[in-house]
């Protein structure tokens, strides 16, 4: 039986793709407070559901002071990368000011904060894997607004972890894996960019990694281990290679063609190479996350029930 720790953990973005994986990871071990615009209630669950907008400081204030969580994982965000380009003000309000609100309240109630951020804070021009201390230079509004959130966390609170991750896929959210399987299932011909390189990451792998960081750093109070971490599944690929693996692993048959970013114009520019160097996490925890191919296999078997 899993030992239940009566610590309270508040998860923002609880109805989102990562939020759902975090809730199922922490529900056994912590008292979970799930915050989102519209958190989905589960019957017979001990989770406390709090509908709230992270931009509404008064509403947040009431929740933080009522429940006084020891740890906050802030995963709520405006995540539509292309949508951010013409909803700039909304992107900065949610990803910047909303994160500032969360950080201020964590400071007030002395909660430790984990903020999830993105590989899109980098411009991709390094040509190799980015370390935590490489200078960010986002190419799009989403990346700039998430970087605003990072700065708000770092200037407001001392006990924080910023976890940058990339190319998330997982249950209960709009993601690339499901899109490819759906389109392939309809017999559509797929065209996917082959000149953007990164690391696909399963939300369950990331939730497990965050749990390990909490155990190693917060529960043992290793203050010198606070700061930024890059955490992704191991290995790298292009979106085209990722799509080809999805088609190979799922029982779909589809024709897939490589495309350049220039041929597939989108409102938001993306970095060409946004690989995140995971060494800091790997050294602290003692091992790396499994490969993205292995994580993808697990996801397809669990969610789609089949493998070729
Ligand atoms: N997805 C990726 O590939 C990726 C890559 C790198 C980093 N990240 C980061 O990882 C985190 C989780 O991403 P995700 O893919 O799980 O995102 P997601 O599925 O879009 O979930 C985000 C959740 O936040 C909620 N939300 C948005 N605005 C809010 C507000 N003002 N107040 C309260 N809740 C609000 C959303 O509600 P609505 O849906 O109702 O708006 C949604 O339920 C984010 O910080 C993201 O920036 C994601």
Residue nearest to atom 26 of ligand 1 (CA): 76
pLDDT digits over 101-155, tens only? 999 999 999 999 999 999 999 999 999 999 999 999 999 999 999 999 999 999 9
Start-to-end C-alpha separation, the chain: 35
In a domain? residue 246? no
In a domain? residue 167? yes
Whole-model pTM above 0.75?
A: yes
In a domain? residue 182? no
In this structure, what CATH number is given to the domain that contains residue 73?
A: 3.40.50.720
Domain count, the chain: 1
232 lines ligand 1 (CB under 6 A): no
Backbone angles phi, psi at 91, to 5 degrees: -60, -45
Q: How far is ligand 1, taken at its centre, from the CA of residue 48, in Å?
A: 19
Closest CA to 18 of 141, 212, 126, 164: 164
Closest CA to 271 of 133, 157, 123: 123
Ligand 1 atom at minimum distance from 165 CA: 6
Ligand 1 atom at minimum distance from 53 CA: 32
Residue 261, C-beta contacts closer than 8 angstroms, at least 6 positions apart: 193, 195, 196, 270, 272
Average pLDDT of the segment spanning 55-69: 97
Greater confidence (44 vs 46) lies with 46
Instruction: Give 157-196 as a DSSP string.
Output: -SSEEEEEE-SEE-TTS--HHHHHHHHHHTT--EEEESS-
pLDDT digits over 181-228, tens only? 999 888 888 999 999 999 999 999 999 999 999 999 877 888 889 999
Q: DSSP alpha helices (H): ranges in the chain?
A: 17-26, 57-67, 83-86, 88-91, 99-109, 141-156, 176-185, 203-213, 239-249, 279-285, 292-304
In a domain? residue 109? yes
In a domain? residue 220? yes
In a domain? residue 184? no
Q: How far is ligand 1, taken at its centre, from the CA of residue 253, in Å?
A: 31
Catalytic residue status for 142: yes
Q: What's the domain range around 218?
A: 8-175+200-234+275-291
Residue 211, C-beta contacts closer than 8 angstroms, at least 6 positions apart: 25, 26, 29
Count of other CB atoms within 10 angstroms of residue 86: 12
In a domain? residue 85? yes
In a domain? residue 76? yes
């Amino acid at each position: 039986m899993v030992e239940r720790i009566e610590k309270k953990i508040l998860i923002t973005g609880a109805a989102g793709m990562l939020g759902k994986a975090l809730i199922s990871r922490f529900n056994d071990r912590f008292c979970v407070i799930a915050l989102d615009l519209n958190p989905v209630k589960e019957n017979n669950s001990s989770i406390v559901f709090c509908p709230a907008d992270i931009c509404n400081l008064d509403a947040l204030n009431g929740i933080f002071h009522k429940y006084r969580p020891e740890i906050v994982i802030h995963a709520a965000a405006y995540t539509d990368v292309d949508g951010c380009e013409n909803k700039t003000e909304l992107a900065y309000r949610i990803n910047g000011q909303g994160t500032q609100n969360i950080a201020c309240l964590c400071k007030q109630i002395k909660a430790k904060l984990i903020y999830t951020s993105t590989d899109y804070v980098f411009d991709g021009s390094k040509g190799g894997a980015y370390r935590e201390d490489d200078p960010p230079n986002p190419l799009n509004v989403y990346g700039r607004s998430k970087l605003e959130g990072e700065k708000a966390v770092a200037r407001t609170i001392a006990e924080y972890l910023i976890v940058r991750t990339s190319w998330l896929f997982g249950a209960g959210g709009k993601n690339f894996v499901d899109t490819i399987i759906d389109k392939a299932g309809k017999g559509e011909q797929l065209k996917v960019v082959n000149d953007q390189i990164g690391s696909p990451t399963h939300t369950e792998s990331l939730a497990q990694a965050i749990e390990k960081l909490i155990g190693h750093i917060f529960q043992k109070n290793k203050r010198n281990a606070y700061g930024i971490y890059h955490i992704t599944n191991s290995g790298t690929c292009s979106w085209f290679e990722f799509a080809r693996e999805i088609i190979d692993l799922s029982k779909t048959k589809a024709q897939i063609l490589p495309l350049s970013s220039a041929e597939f114009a989108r409102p938001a520019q993306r970095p060409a190479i946004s690989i995140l160097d995971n060494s800091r996490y790997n050294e602290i925890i003692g091992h790396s996350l499994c490969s993205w191919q292995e994580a993808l296999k697990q996801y397809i078997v669990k969610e789609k029930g089949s493998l070729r």
